[in-house]
Structure 1
Amino acid sequence: MQRRTLQWVAGSAAAVVLLGGAAFGIAANRGDDRAPGAFGPSPSTSVVASDPGATASTDPTADAAAPDDAAAAPTAGPAEGSDPADDTVVRVEDFAEAPPVPLDQPADPGDKAVVSLTGITRIDGVGRAIGERSGPALAVAMTIRNDTGAPLDLNFVVVNVYSSSGVPSVELASDPHVQGYAGVLAPGESADATYVFRAPTEGGPVKVTVSHDAAVPAASFEGEIAP
């Protein structure tokens, strides 16, 4: 009885050794040298996800040697010789002018949108916006009467004041006296507005232009103003 027991124990030990060796052989054939609990591809493989047709590379230095296209690409800048200014900005020289009339007379630029200057008053202009400077100024009040027979868009009205030297005056758009044109004027109706411009303290000749449409000459006024 004792001899049989010893034989059974020896046989069981041999079986355990054989099973352990088989398991070790299977693991060695798989080439799985990762630490227990590790997931994902082994460190020696790399896949470029951005290219569906790319194959795995077994070179661990492949990613490090690949150039960074995004970093190497130069930043696009403005074309050589291009004008950074916005070409859609309306400039003073873009407007043709109708023959000037005296400051106290109505002006019809040609489409029956009749403009009248109702007053030019000297004030202490207030500049509150960026780039504006307070100082002596002219408050130019006017009326537009729509005799065109069609609705008149007042959103594109542009007013300019020029000194005797022909230099345009700086507009003070943030002055509290300003009431600019906006909206649509019905046929037969009139609308008032006031614009403010910096001006020298001395008197002299001035020119005022009022444009409501770039395709129509601007109404033009010329005359003397008191100091």
Structure 2
Amino acid sequence: LHSNVYTHKTTQAATFMITDILASADPYFRIPTSIEGSVGKFKVEGLPISRAMLHPVSYLMLKDSVIDQIMMTTTPELSPARKIIRRLWNRDLYKLAVIRRIQLEDKTDAKIWQREAEEIKQELLQVRGHHTLNGQDIHLEEDDLIVEKHKIHHGSKQLNPLLFMRFLPKRELGNLRNPVDTLPKAAQVNENKFEGHIPRVFQEQNIRVFCRSPEKIEVLR
């Protein structure tokens, strides 16, 4: 579920787009900090999105509808944010251009995994920054790329988490109220009993590169 839904490439692309919308709007868009109630109206100057948590009223007004509020603006400064919103609504999402599975047992892969995402991005720009495709010169810019180091495990990194767990058979449940010296003992489950359900690996790591510019994605492939 985590791999197929929460960190799926489409889900992650939409997440990156929403992040870009909020980051682009942050210097210019203000969250209202006023509320009306039985004691009248309390108001202070609006706060940027990134600082809305500093004021309780502003924080409570920071909802999903902030995207719609940004879209309804007309100021030129928010035009880049509105452009990304239109792409999001039209399902013109950022594209996954490259995915590299990392095997930590491999020395080359292990060295790549130790690098920061920004360092990997700069290397990609050096290698693929200038390219000719269908007779056209294409130049990759830093803002075209999003490099993500992606890791999923079952809770114990590369190890089987069940090795650290002990289970009590149902037949022993009635003995849980026994004196301390006669309490039943939980035991580790024999792996042979569920070997058909054991995954081949307990941790996966990969490097994913998303491209913000659809016309440049082929340069990375």
Scaled to the shorter chain, the TM-score interval is under 0.3
Higher relative contact order (Cα pairs below 8 Å, separated by 6+ residues): 2
- Using the size of structure 2 for normalisation, the TM-score is 0.25
Give the TM-score, by structure 1 length: 0.25
Give the number of the structure whose alpha-carbon radius of gyration is greater: 1
- Structure having the higher helix fraction is 2
Which has the larger share of strand?
1
